[in-house]
Structure 1
Amino acid sequence: MANQASAKWTGKMRVSDSIQQAGQQMGEKGKWWITSVATRWGALHLLMGLLLGRAVILQELSPFAVPFFAVMYFLKKNRLLLIMFSVVAGSAMQSTGIAASNFTAMALIVVMLSILERRKKSDLHYAPLLSFLAVLLASNTVDYFAGHLGLYAAFMNVVEAVLSLILAHIFVHAIPILTMRRNANHLRTEEIICLIILLASVMTGTAGWIVQDIAVDNVLARYLVLLFAAVGGGTVGAAVGVVTGLVLSLANVQAVYQISLLAFSGLLAGLLREGNKLIIAAGLLMGSSILTLYVGEHREILQSTLETFIAVMLFLFTPRSVMNEIATFIPGTEENESSQQQYLRKVRDVTVDRIEQFSRLFTKLSDTFVNPHLVEEASEEMQVDAFLAEVTRHTCDRCWKREQCWTRNFEGTYEFMSDMVHVMKREGEVTVNDMPKEFLRKCVRQERVMQGMEREFVRWQNQLYLKQQIADSRRLVAEQLAGVSRVMHNFAGELQKEGIHLHLQEQQILQALDGMGLSVRDVDILNLEEGKVDIEIVQPYCQGRDECSKLIAPLLTDILGEKVTVKEKGCQAFADGSCKMCLGSAQEFELLTGVAGAAKGGQLLSGDCFKIMEFGPGKMALAMSDGMGNGERAYRESSATLELLQQLLESGMEEALSIKSVNTVLSLRSPDEIFATVDLALIDLHNAKAKFIKTGSTPSFIKRGDQVIPISANNLPIGIIDDIDVDIVSQQLKPGDLLIMITDGIYEAARTVENKNLWMKRKISELKTNDPQEVADCLLELVIRHHYGEIHDDMTVMVARVDRYTLPWATIPVPNAPHIDRPRYVS
């Protein structure tokens, strides 16, 4: 019995499985059939053609079908015959005259477009004009053969042609939205209106369809208004209601009140879009009921309420995914902003990937230039063999004892010659005393061999020098390529950081500022990383009250928990009377600078140039350059050096590599001997750490109280040789330190003093002032007085004092301020 029961149960399971498989196969076939109908046969286009062919306004005009066919000729030419058939079928539902007129007009469009295609002038923008001509000619032709052509009929035909022209313009913008995939999910207001007119025109084709006293067009119109009001809000709902009601009222003049009913209902439903579907539907029901009670009779009230109820039921059964998909095309919605953010994020990711690819490419090129396997250097033994082969080719090959020396005693002769080569490499020359005695006894061309070895050695040395130059150039190019690769990699990381969306933090800051009574229009956070805060704020013009520095920066300092200051501001910079300010992290230290200089002989142009620049968040650079010689040429060289150095530093290139790049440019730019010294001090204002790079420049000095600390480095001036070694000297600065940078005109002023370094330290320690400008003026005056008022060389002094940065305004505490969560950046 158990076996029988088990067998029955197994049989039932098999039957159930077979039924499920059959159902799945039927479901898959049904999905395939629906997909094939929707894609291959274009069910949506056929339905639109049927309804637009049936749509009639003013009881006799059919201006919708021909513009639709003209536009679809360009968009879906492979389905043209089916679309023509659907349009004619819809027109035949109204009358044979409308069907004949639309068929004739579509035939004329096909003929005219065929002629234009042969002349290669066919374009979608010709659709409105072709629709106007086709409708005008076809309507007059049909009326003429039907015997109805008169003044009134001709006038109405002109009106229908003009309407076709306008509708063709609208369909050109609206139909591609439904038939073509868009890359950027964003619709302009004009495109939304055109889409609504198209949908309302399609719904006009349902005019006269009544099911149990329920008008299908009224149900669809209210459903459309309710759908867009729930997605776009009151403004979109009211606009859709006006456009839809206007188009439907043209089909039925007695339904003019539909304009106000749909517009008011769409407005109420849109105002309640923050609630759920039931609340939005209640807004539509309330708006339609109020106007229906005002203008309708008892029967119309019941009928309108039932139509609204059916539209509400359709809306409630509409999937949320459909509404979200529509919302992505409506500007101002959260879905649209999210879609735009996704699009921008995709573009940013693609950009970052391309930059990373270029970074890896430059890294690979850099590795290629320094790869030792690509250039195989000959071994020392092979070099000696090549050297001896060239020497013996001019000496031993023509000697009558060649066979005795190189055939019978090859090893001995080779050893003698090799020893002489090693002596020449070591001493630079070879003499008779350096030759082996056995070689002198056997060789009959001693002088010629010695001359040949000396001549070949000179050529060999030149070859080695050229190879070394090529190797150095290859190494320089490799270092610069690697530096560019690192810059691009860092830039890609910054782009990745900027892609983090900080909408929540922006809203928190905006609410905090609004809570303090500030009328802030917009807050845009570019970076919220600690120490690298970058925020842009737009507010109305404050009439010069400097609210950004006095109120907003102190408020953000309290909210973010770190010092925030105004980096840049534009008062009333925009035509609408608003101001835009940029706020960022304030550094812990600041520099006060002073500069004094004089040109040789009191000239206008000095060969000494200086720059004070910012090349990053909280990073300052003090640079001085002394060109070769004096006057205009030296000024051009030193200023060009600093300009190029500034651009390299601002681009993010490392300091040492920037100096090497400038050196390469100067050494390759001119065949003349041109060089310039560079004295560079890089100071991080967040921790007061300083880096000094000196290429041929004089020492700098740090005055810390009574102590004077010299800073020097042994580097050649740039532009002399192709490759220079850049030594970086690091020093921790403290508040109150004076950094003094001078050129050689100041340092070498005391020509009778042997220890100039000690002399400068003593003069600096004797200074009684701590003001940077006064220190610079005192040192310059000291040197000029030392030479009794004469200026023997270009002289420049640049002084910077390190102070702790103090905010100009005290922090303003914000009661119940929100806690700002800083995102974690992932590069």
Structure 2
Amino acid sequence: MPEHSSVIEPYVRVRKTREKKYAKALKMRRLNFPAGLISWETAGACAALALLTNLRLMGELAPFGLAFWAVAARGERYRLLLYGLIALTTAFISGGIHFAAGMFLAMLVFGFLRYKLSRPRLPLIVIVGLALPAGMLPVAWLSQFHTYDVLLLVLEAILAMLSTAVFMQVYRHPPAKLAPDKHIEGITSWIVFLGLLLLALMQGGGILTQVSHGLARLIVMAAALAFGPGMAAAAGALLGFFLGIQGVGFIWAGVLAFAGFLAGLFRPYGKVFTAVGFLLATTSLSLYISGWESVPMEAAVTSAAIVFFLLGPVFPERLQALAPFVGQGAEDEAEKVRELTAVRIKDYALVFRELAAAFQQVAALEKREKEPPMASTVEAVVERVCKFCPSRRRCWEKDAQRTYNAMLRVLADLNSGQNIREIKGPDFFVKICRKKDDFLRAVHLVHELESYQQNCNMRLEEGRELMTIQLAGLSQIMLELSKEVRQGVGEMHQRSRHQFFHVEIGVAQAAKGDADVCGDYYSYLELRDGKQAFILSDGMGNGSKAHQESRSAVQLVEQLLLAGFRNEAVVRTVNTILQLRSSEENFATLDVLLVDTEHGEAEFLKIGAAPSYLRHSGRVREIKSPSVPLGILNDVELKPVKITLDDDALIVMATDGIFEVLPSQPDWLKKSLASHDLHHPQVLADEVIHQSRLLSGRPELRDDVTVLVCRAKRLKHKIRDLVS
């Protein structure tokens, strides 16, 4: 049995201390306050709620507190309780017991209509418009429903509904994502919301009035810098209207509107000129309206606002922390949706990857289990001809090897293209076999069936290989799309702006002989990752048929590159499709140039294509990658060539018809490029075609010729920002 030991401690009176600790722990467990509610967002929303609850128009209309409480709580129980307590406390302090009781009753009606009433499901704006009059009915009843009180009640309900719509737009549109061409309602709602806060702040009187004036000017300058003169003038007019309600005169609506418009005109020159334009407008109009006596005060208030405006980049995160009710909920919701979308896309990508692996495993298993065609041929012939022959034992048991060799010889003759009537077989076979004619016909029939079956199996394997390539490529695209969704559109756009090179292009073509259509095809496009692709293809033969083949190959490459497929998957897909599209021999060359304008790099993908040339500082470099054209072999070996671009580098791509111009001197184009000092791409392309006609010694070219010239130019930082 295990031994138990005990330790005797000295007597200590700790009962009361433990009881106090247990009581505190019990209280802390009961409070269980949500951590998300203790934040700067809650503090900012509470401050705005207190100001809006205290705001009274004409000394009697106070609908804004209930409307903001209904929107800011976002249906969360703890926010409803906390914000409701703040609103009721502010209502009791500013309006007394009757105002607080009316708001409390309105909150109860709102809760019943919003969360207890299932049908009909009313919009939030309508619920606020019904809850506010319901809460104020006892007050109207005490005044025996006087006409003036009923009119105020209706007007207050209308203002509550309008302010609810404004607050909903505020929470729906974070200021960091506002765009003047997309979010006019959001920008206007923000201006009205800030105007209501300034109006509530002005009711405190004294220094708060001057603070409100300074904040109004700061908001107008920020609108001028962010959105331009139009929205700045609108912000100045609205904020001036709210300032005029408090008794400073509606003339300030025109002053701030003009100042915002003038400041917005200086927006392209930066923040300092925007502030100077605003200061000039406000001081000059103040001098014109109120005389010299008002200029020092106006200049002081505007200068203080300008100081905060110029110091904006120093503490933007602190300002955002002090006012996080600027749409934190909308940003969080958008982040959740973006993360969920990225996860679902990644799941689909993994499914496609597994499907590609399954197809690949099936193909490998079938290759291992494939029975040799000769064994199946022997069994089929024996079953058809030799099964009931009297000489079966002699042929396939005693002389099995000689019979087998005779069959091999017959099959070899069939494979060489001989007719079945011309085949006689070896002497041993002719003397012994009693059914030699039936035997030869059976071998011929089985051989034809085996050939047809092998052809079908080969097509099936090619189709399965194409499906595997497509599924694997699609999986890779969706994985990259998932990463891009997580990064966000802003980061992707910022990454695509880093363009350090600009590419100019020139193209010239000439058809073979006197043909009207060139069999070559070319294209150039900009990919979604910022790279630029230049594609050149030469179809088999010449004329319209070759043109169709090369165009089909180029257009397919375009779509695959735009979809985001990797280079190897693009080449293998095009090669397989060219093989499957027609039973006849069908091939095309492929010459692809991918230019990375951000890092100044170029990558060549050459499949059966002619060499290209890179010219820089008078030196010419030949770039080639030996391989067969697309559509001939099942497996295409891709050997990309990467180079680093320098400023003013020229890349010349051409089809193989350029070497038919002077067969005795295949390097004539390289020598010609080294001797020329032409830099314009189109001029150089036309000159190469002109030299081809001269050197051929005949008016008609021997083959189609296409010349594509690219010129890389390094961008300075100012020009780069403007172009990108």
- Whether the TM-score (by the shorter chain) exceeds 0.5 is yes
Q: Which residue of 2 aligns with 1:660?
A: 572
Task: Give the AA of the match of 1:460.
Answer: E
Match of 1:796 in 2: 706
Give the distance between the partners of 1:595 and 1:174, measured in 2 at CA: 57
In structure 2, give the amino acid aligned to 1:24.
A
Is 1:67–1:167's contact at 8 Å kept on the other side of the alignment?
Answer: no
Is 1:239 aligned with 2:193?
A: no
Q: Deviations over 1:578-602 (max 9, x none)?
A: xxxxxx3525xx7665443334567
Q: Aligned with 2:508: secondary structure?
A: strand
Residue 634 (structure 2) pairs with residue 747 (structure 1): no
SS of the residue 2:358 aligns to? helix
Identify if the C-alpha distance between structure 1 residues 166 and 769 changes in structure 2 by more than 3 Å, giving closer, same or farther: closer
Q: Is the 8 A contact 1:595 1:798 kept in 2?
A: yes
Which residue pairs with 1:461 in the alignment?
A: 451
Q: Is 1:73 equivalent to 2:112 in the alignment? A: yes
Where do residues 637-648 of structure 1 align in structure 2 (5 Å cutoff)?
638-639=550-551, 641-648=553-560
- In the other structure, the counterpart of 1:764 is 672
How far apart are residue 329 of structure 1 and its match?
1.0
Match of 1:226 in 2: none
1:596 and 2:511 matched: no
3-state SS, counterpart of residue 757 of structure 1: coil
Aligned pairs for 1:591-630 (under 5 A) are: 594-599=506-511, 606-613=518-525, 615=527, 621-627=533-539
- What is the CA-CA distance between 1:159 and the residue it aligns to? 2.0
The 3-state SS of whatever aligns with 1:797 is strand
Distance change >3 Å, CA 412–CA 68, structure 1 → 2: farther
Find the aligned partners of 2:24 and 2:596 in 1 and give their Cα distance.
73
CA distance in 1, matches of 2:625, 2:7: 101
- Please say if residues 128 and 164 of structure 1, whose CA atoms lie closer than 8 Å, have aligned partners that are also in contact: no
Which of the pair is proportionally richer in helix?
Answer: 2
Structure 1 residue 425: deviation in Å?
6.5
CA contact (8 A) 1:136 1:158 kept: no
Q: Give the structure-2-normalised TM-score.
A: 0.57
Q: Do 2:499 and 2:597's aligned partners in 1 also have CA atoms closer than 8 Å?
A: no
Change (3 A) 1:61 1:525: closer
1:455 is displaced (CA, Å) by 1.6
Mapping of 1:18-29 within 5 angstroms? 20-25=21-26, 28=29
Quote the sequence identity (%).
Answer: 21
Change (3 A) 1:49 1:687: closer
Matched, 1:451 2:441: yes
CA distance in 2, matches of 1:236, 1:21: 48
CA contact (8 A) 2:133 2:153 kept: yes
Task: Report the CA distance shift for 1:775/1:49 in structure 2 as closer, same or farther (over 3 A).
Answer: closer
For residues 691 and 775 of structure 1, the distance between their equivalents in structure 2, rounded to whole angstroms, comes to: 22
- Residue 290 of structure 1: aligned partner: none
Separation in structure 2 between the aligned mates of residue 65 and residue 762 of structure 1, nearest angstrom = 89
Work out the CA distance in 1 between the residues paired with 2:719 and 2:699: 49
Aligned 8 A contact 1:599 1:794 in 2: yes
Stretch deviating more after TM superposition (42-51 or 458-467) = 42-51
Alignment pair present for 1:471 and 2:382? no
Q: Deviations over 1:494-537 (max 9, x none)?
A: 66666999xxxxxxxxxxxxxxxxxxxxxx9924xxxx8x4xxx
Contact 2:585 2:632 in 1 (8 A): no
Q: How does 1:427-438 map to 2 (within 5 A)?
A: 433=425
Q: Is the 8 A contact 2:175 2:326 kept in 1?
A: yes
Partner SS for 1:17: helix
Task: Name which of 471, 475, 487 aligns with 1:485.
Answer: 475
1:329 to 317, 322, 325: 325
Q: What's the CA shift for 1:5?
A: 9.7
Output the CA distance in 1 between the equivalents of 2:372 and 2:601: 52
Cα 1:122/1:417, change in 2 over 3 Å? farther
Structure 1 position 459, deviation (Å) = 1.1
CA contact (8 A) 1:608 1:625 kept: yes
Q: Given the superposition, is the C-alpha separation of residues 13 and 156 from structure 1 closer, same or farther in structure 2, using an over 3 Å criterion?
A: same
In the alignment, is residue 8 of structure 1 matched against residue 16 of structure 2? Answer: no
Name the SS for the 2:326 alignment partner.
coil
Residue 609 of structure 1 aligns to a residue whose secondary structure is strand
* 1:725 counterpart = 2:636: yes
Write the letter of the residue equivalent to 1:781: H
Q: Does 1:155 align with 2:147?
A: yes
Q: Distance in 2 between matches of 1:435 and 1:591?
A: 74
Of 562, 581, 591, the residue aligned with 1:679 is: 591
Cross-structure match for 1:783? 692
CA distance in 2, matches of 1:51, 1:682: 67
- Match of 1:526, as an amino acid? Q
The one of 158, 166, 174 equivalent to 1:166 is 158
Where do 5+ consecutive residues of structure 1 fail to align? 79-112, 197-231, 243-257, 274-322, 502-523, 535-583, 812-827
Contact 1:739–1:801 (CA under 8 A) maintained in structure 2: yes
Task: Give CA-to-partner distance per residue, 1:461-516, whole Å, 9 cap, x none.
Answer: 22122222222232233233333434444455566666999xxxxxxxxxxxxxxx
1:8 to partner: Cα distance = 1.7
* Cα distance, 1:434 vs structure 2: 5.4
1:661-698 CA-to-partner distances (Å, cap 9, x unmatched) read: 34455566678876543333445678876544344444
C-alpha distance in structure 1 between counterparts of 2:437 and 2:380, whole Å: 16
Letter in 1 for 2:380: E
Q: Is the 8 A contact 1:237 1:263 kept in 2?
A: no
* Greater Cα radius of gyration, structure 1 or 2: 1
Residues 790 and 373 (structure 1), Cα distance of their counterparts in 2 relative to 1, 3 Å cut: closer
Paired residue secondary structure (1:679): strand
- Residues 352/722 of structure 1: CA separation in 2 closer, same or farther (3 Å cut): farther
Q: Is this contact kept in 1: 2:521–2:538, CA < 8 A?
A: yes
Q: Could you tell me how far apart the structure 1 residues matched to 2:28 and 2:670 are?
A: 97
Q: Aligned-pair distance for 1:371? A: 1.4
User: Quick check: 2:512–2:702 contact (8 Å CA) kept in 1?
Assistant: yes
Change (3 A) 1:427 1:13: farther
Give the direction of change, closer, same or farther, for the CA distance of 1:683–1:420 in structure 2 (3 Å limit).
farther
Structure-2 change in CA distance of 1:364 and 1:609 (3 Å): same
| SS of alignment partner, residue 329 of structure 1 | helix
**Relative to 1, partners in 2 of residues 1:769 and 1:265: Cα closer, same or farther, differing over 3 Å?**
closer
Instruction: Report how many aligned residue pairs link the two structures.
Output: 554
**Does the 8 A contact of 1:128 with 1:166 survive in 2?**
no
Secondary structure at the counterpart of residue 653 of structure 1: coil
Following the alignment from structure 2 to structure 1, what is the Cα–Cα distance between the partners of residues 214 and 509?
75
Partner of 1:586: 500
- Alignment-derived partner of residue 494 in structure 2: 526
Note the 1:173-212 alignment, pairs <5 A: none
Change (3 A) 1:414 1:170: farther
Task: Quote the Cα distance in structure 2 between the aligned partners of 1:733 and 1:191.
Answer: 52
